[in-house]
Chain A
Amino acid sequence: MRNPFRLGAVSAPLALCLWLAGCALSTQADRNGQQLWPPAPGIDTTQAERLIAAGAPRLRITLLDQGPSVLMVETGARDGVTRWRTIDNAQIYLRDGLIIGTRGLSFDLMTADTAEAAAAIHGGYPARITRIHSYLDGQDRMRIRSYVCDVTPAGQESIRLLDGPEVPTQRIDEACRGPEDDFTNVYWLRGGRVAQSVQFISEGVGRAQVLFPSH
């Protein structure tokens, strides 16, 4: 299986550590097929270890079209953007719960303009908005894809959070059409925050499910 989170081979102790942490966080670990891809030798994991030890916020990301499911820890926040990493330092950047960038997934979303989408989703009202993504095109040039999206509140749904509890949420769908591809993102909001989402990253990576714990 091709696994974009996997940057290399094996380093057992640390992998075990985070895997155990994952178990502690989620009683559903096994059922969800949660795996932790151990980092390659030479990848600096000390920062991640330190963050884990300090109890930094976590999320679980699952690449729905590729299989792997890993935990990420928050490494910092600046100007409304939170930055998350896996143990071997694949990264995602979130603004208002929406993915605005990824790093290390081979087909990264380099940047995204999600301002209109975020406003509609958090406003909870139906809207037609635009969203713009940028990618690297294989020759280190920017390739822009723009989408017209319909944001639609889709009623109440209960979801199971990363640490187990089942909670009621407001589901919002965002159906996007572009000249080259279409996708639908789904957000489950709880108390004004995106508790779970399924978001499109790129054609090469597909969609990612991002799931937070209850706190």
Chain B
Amino acid sequence: MRSGRYLIWVTAAGILVAVEAASGQTVPSLSHYGGPGYIEMPSGFSLPDGTLAFTANTTADGESRFAATFQFSDRLQGTFRYSYLQDYFTFPNGNHNSLYDRSFDVRYRILDEDLEGWVPAVSVGLQDFGGTGVFASEYIAASKHIGSSVTSTLGIGWGRYGTHNGFENPLAIFSDRFKNRAPLQGIQNTGRVAYDRLFHGDAALFFATDWQPTPNWRLTFEYSSDSMDPEVEQMGYEYKTPFNLGARYQFDNGASLGASFMNGSTLAVSASFMLNPKDPPAPSGREPGPPAISRGSDESLALWTPRPDPQRYERLQAALNDQGITLEGFELQGNVATVSITNERWPASAQAYGRAAAVLSAQLPADVSAFRIRGHIQGMAITEVTLRRSDLEQTEYAFDGAWQSYARAGVADAALTAGPPEAWDPSYSTWLGLYATPFLFDPDNPVRADLGLELGGSFSPWQGTYLSGALRHKIVGNLDEADRPSDSTLPHVRSDAWLYAKDASEVTVPYLTIGQYERLGQDLYGQAQAGILEPMFGGVFGEMLWAPPGQRLALGGNLAYARQRDFDGGFGFQDYDVVTGFLSGFYDFGGGYYGQVDVGRYLAKDWGSTLTVSRRFGNGFELAAFATLTDVSFDEFGEGSFDKGFAFSVPLSWMTGKPSLNQFGMVIRPILRDGGAQLWVPNRLYAMTRPGRQEELGSRWERFWR
């Protein structure tokens, strides 16, 4: 809710602790393409559900691949790869150009290995199915453990994987059109799936095996069905044999280093590491223990009815503050205290309720028998939890105490009940931090970034209203070296992003808004923001969300008038303006899988829809993939054909084990262009209110007594 959304934390330490969690020798090794496999060949194995794997490798001949693989479900896996092929293009005048290539793979395991019997793990994969197609291959691979230290794989491949000792496509028994594979497409067609290529053309068999003489070492041998034609033809790669040999050392922390000798001619080195979002380094956190449930003071109720004197109020306020909780209002009626709070610290809001309850049990008179605790986000009352003192006392040390406390608690939409007359003192916060804005995949320099200082502040004069903004000053960076004038025929709503870095003034304003957040009724949430909404646009933005508890479906809508900002990042605007808006459906498939569809009008005035599929782990670690199709044609859109990408968001607490509401995250697009572009407005209702709404509150209730 705070600055965290804007700050991208790049800490080496964080990555190190992240890796610490993942280890184990039964995890399959990764190929040079980034998925489970051997050297160049894939295996039929999958990674453990949820695993994130990162690989980097380079050959002595100037081919490098960097890949991120996510085991999205037990069976389905996706890979995004960025590759560099040195001097791939040769011009008639003898000059060379290198190829920078982005590619996607998907793989699905269709058969599970029977470790005791003969049935192998079998996977079907599409490699580089929507890119320029340099690595385009399809395969079916069957893999088996033989004993505890050997695995073997037999597979059939098409495309690149069907080039050595290829034979007529067996799929030709279904249709003759499988016999021929359409030629490679040019860069203008990237992003389109070439259905006339998938599983078309010659096929070939491959074989691979590896052996672990010790749990940490792995020796690999493979017979590759890839004759490396593009490398041979374009880069003078020397192909002598189909055999590849490799050795890999697996560290206990999930990292590995490997070297291989390829095709009798070339040396390659590789590195990888894996982590599983399910396993943070400190699952129960490094925060201090909670206060104990206490019998309470022997003060009379009258001293607290309906509100205590300032001294007592401040004492309560301070005690809650110690637990990362802001007191927003208090009222005692009869034996029931109603307390409004804002959780400032705890990623699992159940923990905020638990600590608030413990503080209240100690601070209030013993005769106060129940606490109605109303949790707020951006001034919106989200969920009211009623806890009886006797239940707290009985469940604090009970074996199933968390479950019992939940079963005995009254949990309700806070919009349905009246809160205390809320004091809602004016509040403000300021922060000074580092920001990083990476800009990836520019062929002139694939990794550019600016790093600088961000000074931010937020002021809330009364409940629900927030003035917030930030200033940025670049310290170091090379975004301004970019020089790729947009060739887009659409309004340049995003493709001028590089100009916002190049022409930025010394101090820029990434956002400066006044926002109002309101509960509009039962299950209804609303907000409006006006001002500088994001680095490239300003205007007004309004949003509503209907999110009933206990239902998988939530609906939302937003409408904005936006005007494009000047490139200097100041307060000026350009001529382009647009009315943009969407209807959104959010669906909770269960098990941490979510879908979102946005239908509406985009920034370049194109109409269409965006599909987002995400997996959110119970600890808040989230990965998403999205794609947008609009009435902008693939040709009009330009390179990439349509907008698509990935996003991840990691709670800072996941890495450090220390409680914090901050998240860091990033959206990664192969290319940023003008079709299918939405506003980047922070504090969107669905994601912002989720930690406080009843589903997530309940699913993380196990932290109530933590």
Residue A4 at the chain B interface, CB threshold 8 Å: yes
Q: Identify A76's interface contact among B281, B286, B294, B619, CB under 8 A.
A: B294
Given A136-B706, A137-B283: A112 and B288 interface contact (C-beta under 8 Å): no
Decide if A85 touches B289 in the complex (CB within 8 Å): yes
Closest residue to A133 on the B side, CB-wise? B399
Residue B279 at the chain A interface, CB threshold 8 Å: yes
Residue A187 at the chain B interface, CB threshold 8 Å: no
Encoded as 1 (CB less than 8 Å from any B CB) or 0, chain A from 86 to 129 comes to 00111101010000110111111011110000000000000000
Decide if B618 touches A139 in the complex (CB within 8 Å): yes
CA distance in complex: A78, B290 (Å): 15
Residues of B within 8 Å of A134, CB to CB, are: 399-400
| Chain A interfacial residues counted at CB < 8 A | 40
Encoded as 1 (CB less than 8 Å from any A CB) or 0, chain B from 584 to 626 comes to 0000000000000000000000000000000001110000000
Closest residue to A142 on the B side, CB-wise? B702
Decide if B288 touches A106 in the complex (CB within 8 Å): no
Residue B401 at the chain A interface, CB threshold 8 Å: yes
Decide if A139 touches B706 in the complex (CB within 8 Å): no
Q: Say whether chain A's binding surface is mostly helix, strand, loop, or mixed.
A: strand
CA distance in complex: A44, B21 (Å): 30
Encoded as 1 (CB less than 8 Å from any A CB) or 0, chain B from 262 to 295 comes to 0000000000000000111111111111101111
Residue A55 at the chain B interface, CB threshold 8 Å: no
Residues of B within 8 Å of A107, CB to CB, are: 282-284
CA distance in complex: A133, B415 (Å): 38
Decide if A90 touches B288 in the complex (CB within 8 Å): yes
Decide if B288 touches A108 in the complex (CB within 8 Å): no
Decide if A139 touches B619 in the complex (CB within 8 Å): yes
Decide if B288 touches A89 in the complex (CB within 8 Å): yes
CA distance in complex: A136, B399 (Å): 13
CA distance in complex: A107, B699 (Å): 19
Residues of B within 8 Å of A4, CB to CB, are: 286
Number of A-B contacts defined by CB within 8 Å: 107
Decide if A110 touches B289 in the complex (CB within 8 Å): no
* Closest Cβ–Cβ distance, residue B188 to chain A (whole Å): 44
Residues of B within 8 Å of A137, CB to CB, are: 278, 283, 618
Decide if B618 touches A79 in the complex (CB within 8 Å): no
Residues of B within 8 Å of A103, CB to CB, are: 284, 288-290, 706
Decide if A136 touches B289 in the complex (CB within 8 Å): no
Residues of B within 8 Å of A110, CB to CB, are: 284, 402, 702, 705-706
Closest residue to B616 on the A side, CB-wise? A139
CA distance in complex: A44, B324 (Å): 12
Q: Identify A111's interface contact among B322, B399, B657, B700, CB under 8 A.
A: B399
Residues of B within 8 Å of A104, CB to CB, are: 285-289
Decide if A44 touches B322 in the complex (CB within 8 Å): yes
Residue A175 at the chain B interface, CB threshold 8 Å: no
Residues of B within 8 Å of A91, CB to CB, are: 288-289
Given A113-B399, A135-B283, A135-B284: A75 and B292 interface contact (C-beta under 8 Å): yes
Residue A155 at the chain B interface, CB threshold 8 Å: no
Residues of A within 8 Å of B322, CB to CB, are: 44
CA distance in complex: A4, B286 (Å): 7
CA distance in complex: A4, B619 (Å): 20
Decide if B400 touches A111 in the complex (CB within 8 Å): yes
CA distance in complex: A113, B703 (Å): 18
Encoded as 1 (CB less than 8 Å from any A CB) or 0, chain B from 295 to 311 comes to 10000000000000000
* Closest Cβ–Cβ distance, residue B296 to chain A (whole Å): 12
Decide if B397 touches A136 in the complex (CB within 8 Å): no
Decide if B293 touches A78 in the complex (CB within 8 Å): yes
Residue A43 at the chain B interface, CB threshold 8 Å: yes
Decide if B288 touches A88 in the complex (CB within 8 Å): yes
CA distance in complex: A106, B17 (Å): 13
Residue A7 at the chain B interface, CB threshold 8 Å: yes
Decide if B398 touches A111 in the complex (CB within 8 Å): yes
Decide if A93 touches B397 in the complex (CB within 8 Å): yes
Residue B252 at the chain A interface, CB threshold 8 Å: no
Q: Identify A78's interface contact among B288, B393, B657, CB under 8 A.
A: B393
| Chain B interfacial residues counted at CB < 8 A | 39
CA distance in complex: A107, B283 (Å): 6
CA distance in complex: A135, B706 (Å): 11
Encoded as 1 (CB less than 8 Å from any A CB) or 0, chain B from 663 to 706 comes to 00000000000000000000000000000000000011011011
Residues of B within 8 Å of A141, CB to CB, are: 618, 699, 702
Residue B348 at the chain A interface, CB threshold 8 Å: yes
Given A90-B289, A136-B703, A140-B699: A108 and B284 interface contact (C-beta under 8 Å): yes
Decide if A140 touches B702 in the complex (CB within 8 Å): yes
* Closest Cβ–Cβ distance, residue A98 to chain B (whole Å): 12
Residues of B within 8 Å of A13, CB to CB, are: none
Residue A190 at the chain B interface, CB threshold 8 Å: no
- CB interface residues, A 13-68, toward B, < 8 Å: 43-44
Decide if B290 touches A106 in the complex (CB within 8 Å): no
Residues of A within 8 Å of B285, CB to CB, are: 104, 106, 108
* Closest Cβ–Cβ distance, residue B98 to chain A (whole Å): 42
Given A83-B292, A107-B284: A100 and B397 interface contact (C-beta under 8 Å): yes
CA distance in complex: A105, B286 (Å): 6
Residue A191 at the chain B interface, CB threshold 8 Å: no
Most buried by A among B288, B290, B705: B288
- CB interface residues, B 287-346, toward A, < 8 Å: 287-290, 292-295, 322
Residues of B within 8 Å of A132, CB to CB, are: 399
Given A90-B288, A135-B283: A111 and B706 interface contact (C-beta under 8 Å): no
Residues of B within 8 Å of A111, CB to CB, are: 397-402, 705
Residue A154 at the chain B interface, CB threshold 8 Å: no
- State the 7 A-B residue pairs at the shortest beta-carbon distance, nearest first: A139-B618, A103-B289, A91-B289, A89-B288, A106-B282, A108-B284, A138-B283
Contacts from A to B (Cβ < 8 Å):
4, 7, 43-44, 75-76, 78-79, 81, 83, 85, 88-91, 93, 95, 100-101, 103-108, 110-113, 132, 134-142, 204
27 CB contacts below 8 A, A to B, read: A43-B288, A76-B292, A78-B293, A78-B393, A78-B396, A81-B397, A88-B288, A89-B289, A104-B287, A104-B289, A106-B657, A107-B284, A108-B284, A110-B702, A110-B706, A111-B399, A113-B399, A134-B400, A135-B283, A136-B703, A136-B706, A137-B278, A138-B279, A138-B618, A139-B619, A140-B702, A142-B403
Q: A76-B294, A110-B705 given. 9 additional CB < 8 A pairs?
A: A85-B289, A103-B284, A112-B399, A138-B21, A139-B619, A140-B348, A141-B699, A141-B702, A204-B283
